[in-house]
Amino acid sequence: MLEPHVFQKNALLGLLPEEELRRLMPHFEEVTLTLGQSLCESGQHMNHVYFPLDSIVSLLCVMENGASTEIAVVGYEGVVGVSLFMGGETTPSRAIVQSAGKALRLKGQLLKNEFYRAGPMQRLLLRYTQALLTQMAQTAVCNRHHNLDQQLCRWLLLSLDRLWGNELIMTQELIANMLGVRREGVTEAAGKLQRAGLISYHRGHINVLDRQGLEERVCECYSVVKDEYDRLLNHHNVM
């Protein structure tokens, strides 16, 4: 069985009462997620759910011609696979590893059983799902109404909130695919942030040098999402 401290690396699991978590611990396994790995394809049934520890997973909407746009990001604050316990079984979105790292994997049926017990896990997952839906809705608004510079700042800050450090490993081509824009646009926007001393970018490594500067440039979409996660997922409100 995994050591108890491993489960605290996922904030969602860390919110569970100790007795609930200990009952579930033997059923988890730690897995390594690699950059670009697909955890779920559009319309595919998921057999497992994933609780990231130090990795980030992008949820993408995929068009018939193969084009895709990111609708949400999931890191150590959450879980990948909400369609399983919400009763849909499948989802039209695609789950791709955006930043490699570790995750805790649990069989989907076990999570469904736990959800239908209507205990602390159910309340926690419902709150998380509401926060995730807020992120999806705000992403759609942002992509429609805000410029690419603001979108990139939002994306960087949301990604950082889901990692333990200040570095992202991500090529500009992948960022462009996530945002659904041309690579040249990302190159220009990232160049502006680098010249302003907010980030450094070299061979796919993005280091955030001035987080406050990013927050001053970002649109209100970032704070809407962050405030909703903070409101719904904290020890005072969850249980």
Question: Tell me, what CATH number does 100's domain have?
Answer: 2.60.120.10
Distances (CA, A) of 198 to 143, 162, 169, 209: 22, 19, 16, 5
What are 76's two structure tokens? 């150590």
Q: How confident is the model at residue 23 (pLDDT cuts 50, 70, 90)?
A: very high
Signed CA dihedral, 46, 227, 76, 149: sign only: positive
Q: Which residue has the higher pLDDT, 196 or 185?
A: 196
68 & 113 share domain: yes
CATH code: domain of residue 168: 1.10.10.10
Strand ranges of the sheet holding 48-52, from the earlier edge strand across to the other edge: 29-33, 101-107, 48-52
Across 127-131, 140-144, 230-234, which has the greatest mean pLDDT?
A: 127-131
- Say if residue 162 is exposed, middle or buried (CB neighbours under 10 Å; 0-12, 13-18, 19+): buried
**Domain extent for 39:** 4-119
Q: Which residue has the higher pLDDT, 201 or 92?
A: 201
69 & 168 share domain: no
Distances (CA, A) of 39 to 22, 63, 68, 108, 110: 26, 18, 16, 13, 18
pLDDT at 237: 60
pLDDT in tens, 82-133: 988 887 777 778 999 988 899 999 999 999 999 999 899 999 999 999 999 9
Q: Characterize the bridge pairing of strands 101-107 and 48-52.
A: antiparallel
pLDDT at 86: 84
The count of domains in the chain is: 2
Q: Which residue has the higher pLDDT, 52 or 44?
A: 52
Q: Strand, coil or helix: what is 38?
A: strand
Residue 129, domain member (yes or no): no
44 & 91 share domain: yes
Residue 19, domain member (yes or no): yes
Mean pLDDT of the chain: 88
